[in-house]
């Protein structure tokens, strides 16, 4: 339940709470990086408009999308603790962010109790989010992962005032797959399948959720898998 709403970063209200600390705005063009692995980690960011993905590269050179950051969400909390970034943060569309220098944030946290608590909460939230992601990757099928992912996107977007049931996927099929531990072909197939089953309407990167209840059932594995090819006569009378 509560483990499976997978938004990341702080809540909406957090943005306004720390508003006085914001030092400047940053713009990142589609495809450009906000920071690279190895860069000095000296600021925390909040997405104002746009979308950012953070990717990590493993020792063996494989890449994985760790998180998609939507408007209102926080990036780079780790810079309060570490000196360099481990991830690469890339803009999926032209994006503008608020920048708060991490030393300012740390200095202010000494005096302001609510801010301290907010930081703890944000970290805790991040840990929970990553744990839920691990649980998802550990035991969900491809269909369950994609259903969960779409519902999470829907929820987070609607929390920011966007339409809950019709939205644009800012990321490629490959990005989605990377985030969910799947290949792009599998993502594509399952989106098509969900479209065919009437759960979604998918046209390129436009997605409309047509049957949210059913999608939730799928996300919890309560439903036999959707038909792989066409349904056929399910079982003849012997």
Site string for DNA, 68-97 (x = CB under 7 A): ------------------------------
Segment interacting with its own copies, rule: CB under 8 A, options 77-85, 90-98, 166-174, 206-214: 77-85
d(CA 73, CA 98): 11
Residue 33's SS3 state is: strand
- Which H or E run contains 178? helix 173-180
Alpha carbon distance 76, 189 (integer Å): 33
What residues between 161 and 180 interact with its own copies by CB under 8 A? 178-180
Report the distance separating Cα 148 and Cα 217, nearest Å: 10
- Residue 3 touching DNA (CB under 7 A): no
* Beta strand pairing call for 166-168 and 24-28: unpaired
Q: What distance in Å separates the CA atoms of residue 147 and residue 141, rounded to the nearest whole number?
A: 10
Q: Which of residues 25-64 bind its own copies (CB under 8 A)?
A: 56, 58-60, 62, 64
**Interaction of residue 110 with its own copies, rule CB under 8 A:** yes
Q: What residues from 135 to 164 belong to the interface with DNA (CB under 7 A)?
A: 141-143
Select from its own copies, DNA, none the partner in contact with residue 64, using the beta carbon and a kind-dependent cut-off of 5 to 8 Å.
its own copies
Least distance to its own copies from the beta carbon of 59, Å? 5
Site string for DNA, 199-228 (x = CB under 7 A): ---x-xx-------------------x--x
The three-point CA angle 167-173-177 to 5° equals 115
Tell me, what DSSP letter sits at residue 31? Answer: T
Minimum Å gap between C-beta 185 and its own copies is 16
Nearest one of 221, 33, 4 to 131, comparing CA atoms? 4
Count of residues near DNA by CB under 7 A: 25
How many residues are present in the chain? 238
Kindly list the residues in this chain that would bind DNA in the complex (CB under 7 A): 141-143, 169, 172-174, 177, 181-189, 191-192, 202, 204-205, 225, 228-229
């Amino acid at each position: 339940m509560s483990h499976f709403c997978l938004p990341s970063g702080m809540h909406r209200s957090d943005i306004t709470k720390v508003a006085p600390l914001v030092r400047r705005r940053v713009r990142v063009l589609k495809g450009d990086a906000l920071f690279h692995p190895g860069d000095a980690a000296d600021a925390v960011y909040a997405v104002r408009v746009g979308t950012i993905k953070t990717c990590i590269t493993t020792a063996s050179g494989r890449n994985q999308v760790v998180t998609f950051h939507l408007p209102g969400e926080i990036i780079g909390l780790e810079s309060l603790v570490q000196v360099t970034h481990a991830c690469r943060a890339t803009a999926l569309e032209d994006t503008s962010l608020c920048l708060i220098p991490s030393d300012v944030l740390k200095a202010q946290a000494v005096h302001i109790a609510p801010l301290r608590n907010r930081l703890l909460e944000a970290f805790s939230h991040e840990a929970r989010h990553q744990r839920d992601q691990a649980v998802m990757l550990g035991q969900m099928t491809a269909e369950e992962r994609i259903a969960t992912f779409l519902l999470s996107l829907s929820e987070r977007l609607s929390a920011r005032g966007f339409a809950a049931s019709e939205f644009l996927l800012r990321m490629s099929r490959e990005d989605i797959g990377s985030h969910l531990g799947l290949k792009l072909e599998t993502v594509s197939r399952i989106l098509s399948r969900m479209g065919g089953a009437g759960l979604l309407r998918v046209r390129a990167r436009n997605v409309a959720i047509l049957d949210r209840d059913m999608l939730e059932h799928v996300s919890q594995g309560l439903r036999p898998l959707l038909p792989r090819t066409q349904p056929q006569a399910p079982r003849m009378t012997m």
